[in-house]
Amino acid sequence: MNIKFEEKYIADEAAIVIGLPENIKELKNFDELDTLLNGLTEEIISANVLSDKYGKVTTTGVTIQRQYRKVIAVGLGDSSELTALKVQKAVGKLFQFMAGEKDTEIQIILDTFSFEPEDVADAVGMMSAVSSHKLTGYDSSDKKQFHDELDITLVTKADVKSAYEHGASLGSSITLARDFATMPPNMLYPESFADQLAVHFKDRPHVKGEVKDFDTLIQEGFGLLAAVGKASVRKPRLVTIEYKHPDATDDAPIALIGKGITYDSGGYSLKSRNGMRSMKYDMSGAANVVGMMDAITKLELPVHAVAVLALAENMVDGNGMRPDDVYKSLSGKTVEVSNTDAEGRLVLADAVYYAATKFSPKIMMDFATLTGAVIQAIGENRTGVFTNQGRKFINNLLISSKVTGEDIWHLPMSEQEDERVKKSDIADLLNADFKPGGASFAAAFINQFTEGTPWVHFDIAGTSNTSRSTPFAKKGSTGVMIRTILDLIESGTLYE
Ligand code: BES
Ligand code: MN
Ligand code: ZN
């Protein structure tokens, strides 16, 4: 994609893109807009050619210097009710519309959006990257991304370059995560995922990485991660990515932990043919943590952050994990495996314990497509959130999620579940009982390995991918929680 910045509209081939708030006459630059629309702005709206209805995209043509030009407008509704999120959604709809029309050159008259030009520029940067993104290269066409071909000029007197770049940066981190999640499991497996991450983060300032291979995991006692991954010919890996900005005020890092099951067949507790479908997304937690680290490092945020990714493929084999097996975790606690399909909590147990003891983080957050139960509880459009701290601890997280529109819901986890996870007849812990409240049980299981570190667990089973398109993404993987966690870190409220 090509981006340019101009202080005023300069007539050329490009389509003219405007925002259209209801109270159009109150717009600061109404006269500028009205000139572009041949002095007919109000008539065009009252004749219903262009619509100011929020989120509606309409087009018309105007003559400028005797040339016929296309005008694309996105309705913004009542401008006093606009928020940064509503601007992002409107801009997302705009790009999705343009992807359908195959426009290649546009000038966006930024001040017609009747919102802070920096916020609009940020939205253009992000939404042009994410809203119509699709993973390419897996069919025989040589289709390119719509946004790669696009030529955008942002027209405003304000200095919006860095705001635009911020949005574009975050947007490309989200598409990075989505691409990893979408890759087919025969091509993206623990080793290949780790290799691609090593290439991706190589040469990033202040970044160090480490990959533990299967032998190392066994030697060092990662008994649960090794057990889950051993049945696959593609053996498990543990990937660590550490970023420490020189201006980081705190020595103790933020730890971001991701479930990275590159395929979840269920193992011997095999999934049904329908239940197995789309289990390539079972590494979305790890992919989204990669997206967060990508954004944090590109934006060079002044923080200390570590990512720990537990990568394994849950398969069936003569040497596979059996229901009834007992394994020793990295922490020393033993686990009876009652169901091999409850594998996510097993790999996370070792990853969370490793993060807690190796890095003494100030806060740990894990992201995992962990349970079908969370979907039963709160639907497929909310992320379930659990913490070993009081509700106040996640207050700022709840605020960030309101800002980004990524819905989360605080779910319970208490002594009740602590009792349940200890109900093995033979080992310290049991990986699954088959009682109601499965998402809370899974959270409590992971909490057995947090060593008292303040911790927040995100069950993204419902939100990691979607069957319907939104302004932020077409159907498929979503990169959920990247925007929320970045907002939380950038707002500086994470540690409050
Ligand atoms: N990866 C699944 C959870 C999942 C289910 C994610 C549906 C997305 C959509 C997880 O590993 C799993 O299989 N969980 C089991 C746990 C059960 C065996 C205790 C489940 O939820 O059925
Ligand atoms: Mn499973
Ligand atoms: Zn799984």
On whether both 100 and 238 belong to a single domain, the answer is no
Same domain, 229 and 302: yes
| Alpha carbon of 264 to ligand 2 centroid (Å) | 6
Whole-number Å distance between alpha carbons of 189 and 453: 30
Structure tokens at 123: 């939205």
Residues lining ligand 1, Cβ inside 6 A: 264, 282, 339, 341-344, 369-373, 432, 438, 461
Residue 283 within any structural domain of the chain: yes
Catalytic site includes residue 271:
yes
Q: Using the mean position of ligand 1's atoms as its centre, give its distance from the Cα of residue 17 in Å.
A: 45
Quickly count helices (H) and strands (E) in the chain: 16, 19
* CA within 13 Å, CB half, 338: 16
- The CATH number covering residue 36 comes to 3.40.220.10
Judge if 361 and 229 occupy the same domain.
yes
Mutate to test the pocket of ligand 1, among 284, 371, 446 (most ligand atoms within 8 A of CB): 371
Together in a domain, 411 and 442: yes
AA identity, residue 149: E
Q: Which two tokens stand for residue 429?
A: 């812990």
Tell me, yes or no, whether 49 and 96 share the same domain: yes
* Structural domain includes residue 114: yes
93, 230, 235, 345: the catalytic one is 345
Domain C-terminal end among 156, 184, 201: 156
**The domain boundary residue, chosen from 156, 189, 207:** 156
Task: Catalytic residue, from 53, 70, 204, 271: name it.
Answer: 271
Q: Which two tokens stand for residue 280?
A: 């390539």
Binding site feature residues for Mn(2+): 259, 264, 282, 341, 343
Atom of ligand 1 nearest to the CA of 343: 11
Q: Given 122, 156, 190, which residue is the final one in a domain? A: 156
- Note whether 250 and 362 are within 8 A (CB): yes
What pLDDT does 145 receive?
81
Residue 161 covered by a domain: no
d(CA 304, CA 488): 14
pLDDT value of position 146: 81
Distance (Å, rounded) from C-alpha 217 to C-alpha 79? Answer: 56
Dist. CA 387 → ligand 1 center (Å): 20
One domain, residues 298 and 378: yes
| Series of mean pLDDT values for 10-residue runs along the chain (496 residues) | 94 95 90 92 94 97 93 97 98 96 93 96 98 94 83 97 98 98 98 98 97 98 99 98 93 97 98 98 99 98 98 98 98 98 99 98 98 98 98 96 98 98 98 97 98 98 96 97 98 83
Q: Which residues are annotated as a binding site?
A: 259, 264, 282, 341, 343
Asked whether residue 13 is domain-assigned, the answer is yes
> Which ligand 1 atom sits nearest the alpha carbon of residue 373?
21
Query: 291 and 338 share a domain?
Result: yes
388 and 457 together in one domain: yes
Residue 132: which domain range? 2-156
Answer yes or no: do 187 and 326 share one domain.
yes
pTM (predicted TM-score): 0.98
The C-alpha angle with vertex 43 and arms to 38 and 46, in degrees rounded to 5, equals 150
Q: Which CATH number do you get for residue 249?
A: 3.40.630.10
Q: How far is CA 141 from the centre of its chain?
A: 27
Residue 293 placed within a domain:
yes
For residue 143, the model assigns a pLDDT of 81
Q: Note the ligand closest to the C-alpha atom of 432.
A: 1
pLDDT at 147: 80
Indicate whether 164 belongs to any domain. Answer: no
For ligand 1, the distance from its centroid to the CA atom of residue 455, given in whole angstroms, is 21
Nearest residue (by CA) to ligand 1, atom 6, is 461
266 and 386, same domain (yes or no): yes
Tokens standing for 140? 């025989």
Task: For strands 237-244 and 304-314, give the pairing.
Answer: antiparallel
Residue corresponding to tokens 């812990």: 429
Atom of ligand 1 nearest to the CA of 339: 18
Atom of ligand 1 nearest to the CA of 282: 1
Residue with tokens 């952050």: 305
Q: Are residues 91 and 215 in the same domain?
A: no
Residue whose Cα lies nearest atom 13 of ligand 1: it is 341
Answer whether residue 281 is part of any domain.
Answer: yes
453 and 354 both lie in a single domain: yes
Domain count, the chain: 2
- Test site for ligand 1: of 341, 375, 464, most ligand atoms within 8 A of the Cβ: 341
Report CA(338)–ligand 3 centroid distance (Å). Answer: 15
Which DSSP string corresponds to 292-337? Answer: HHHHHHHTT-S-EEEEEEEEEEE---TTS--TT-EEE-TTS-EEE-
Contact 238, 308 (CB under 8 A): yes
Q: What is the pLDDT of residue 148?
A: 81
Q: Is 378 contained in some domain? A: yes
Half-sphere exposure of 11 (CA within 13 A, CB side): 11
